[in-house]
């Protein structure tokens, strides 16, 4: 059986990194082979350019940074596909949905959601994208903004709008939305149910890996 591609998305402080780790642990303890990834992957040369940009240590034109985020996924795409075909499940903290909405949230006159999606076409497509939904007010209770580029109220509000636009687009069936406002354990239980359902569906129906 092939591995599955499971992605977490959501606003800053929605709980993505925490729940991603918990899901990886649960799946491993059930005997699944699991690779845990995150985007941006700051460890590669392209990822280091992205890191410098997010930390305010370099400037990049809007399209250029957008394409670097995309290139950072493309440099991993072949190995994602190979692992899935070899039976390893991949759980990723942010993927091309973040790529589209954060860039489009800048209100650049050219770089809208449609433009933003083009460089992502052909990437391995998630079997499920778990969207951890939190209101900006509840996210704020989990601590203030850090120092990175997009951590401000205006961006977060726009990103939330654009995520909800994606979730009513042709991609809507890829999303499972979970209320991220509950306790860590409550959210985890819902995440596990969604992940199991997605895994069972792929196996029961013999669904092949698809591409964006």
Contact positions vs ligand ADP (CB under 6 A): 10, 12-18, 142-143, 183-184, 187
Q: How far is the CB of 200 from ligand FDM (least distance, A)?
A: 28
Cβ 191 to ligand FDM, closest distance in Å?
17
Helices 16-29 and 184-205 cross at an angle (nearest 10°) of: 60
Nearest alpha carbon to residue 34 among 84, 87, 89: 89
Give the per-residue contact string, 86-125, with ligand FDM (x = CB under 6 A; - = no).
Answer: --------x---xx--x-----------------------
Stretch that binds Mg ion, among 16-24, 57-65, 67-75, 104-112 (CB under 5 A): 16-24
Phi, psi of 70, rounded to the nearest 5 degrees: -65, -45
> What span, in angstroms and rounded, lies between the C-alpha atoms of 187 and 89?
21
What contacts 138, CB < 8 A, 6 or more positions away?
180, 181
13, 142 contact by CB (below 8 A): yes
Which one of residues 11, 27, 46, 69 is an interface residue with ligand FDM (CB under 6 A)?
69
State the minimum distance, in angstroms, from the CB of residue 14 to Mg ion.
8
From the list Mg ion, ligand FDM, ligand ADP, none, pick the one residue 189 interacts with, judged by a Cβ distance below 5 to 8 Å according to partner type.
none
Give yes or no for a contact between 196 and 26, defined as CB atoms under 8 angstroms apart: no
Continuous segment of H or E residues that includes residue 196: helix 184-205
Which range in 11-19, 133-141, 143-151, 190-198 contacts Mg ion by CB under 5 A?
A: 11-19
Assess 40 for contact with ligand FDM (CB under 6 A). Answer: yes
Residue 133's contacts (CB-CB under 8 Å, 6 or more residues apart) are: 10, 14, 177, 178, 179, 180, 181
**How many Å apart are CA 210 and CA 212, to the nearest integer?**
7
> Among ligand FDM, Mg ion, ligand ADP, none, what binds residue 206 when CB lies within 5 to 8 Å by partner kind?
none
Which lies closer to ligand FDM via its Cβ, residue 2 or residue 94? 94
Identity of the residue, 76 or 202, whose beta carbon is nearer to Mg ion in the bound complex:
76
Q: Which is nearer to ligand ADP, 2 or 13 (CB)?
A: 13
Beta carbons within 8 Å of 10's beta carbon, 6+ residues apart: 16, 131, 132, 133, 134, 163, 180
17 contacts Mg ion (rule: CB under 5 A): yes
Interface residues toward ligand FDM, by CB under 6 A: 39-40, 54, 69, 94, 98-99, 102, 150
């Amino acid at each position: 059986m092939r591995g599955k591609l499971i992605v977490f998305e959501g606003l800053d402080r929605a709980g993505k990194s925490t729940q991603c780790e918990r899901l990886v642990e649960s799946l491993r303890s059930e005997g699944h082979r699991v690779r845990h990834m995150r985007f941006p992957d700051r460890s590669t040369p392209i990822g280091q350019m992205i890191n410098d940009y997010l930390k305010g240590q370099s400037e990049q034109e809007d399209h250029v940074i957008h394409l670097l985020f995309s290139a950072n996924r493309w440099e991993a795409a072949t190995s994602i596909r190979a692992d899935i075909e070899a039976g390893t499940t991949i759980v990723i903290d942010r993927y091309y949905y973040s790529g589209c909405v954060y860039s489009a949230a800048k209100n650049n006159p050219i770089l809208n959601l449609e433009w933003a999606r083009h460089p992502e076409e052909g990437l391995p497509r998630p079997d499920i994208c778990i969207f951890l939904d939190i209101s900006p007010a509840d996210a704020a209770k989990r601590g203030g903004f850090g120092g990175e580029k997009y951590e401000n109220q205006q961006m977060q509000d726009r990103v939330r709008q654009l995520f909800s636009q994606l979730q009513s687009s042709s991609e809507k069936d890829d999303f499972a939305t979970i209320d991220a406002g509950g306790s860590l354990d409550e959210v985890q239980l819902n995440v596990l149910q969604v992940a199991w359902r997605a895994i069972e569906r792929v196996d029961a129906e013999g669904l092949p890996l698809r591409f964006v």
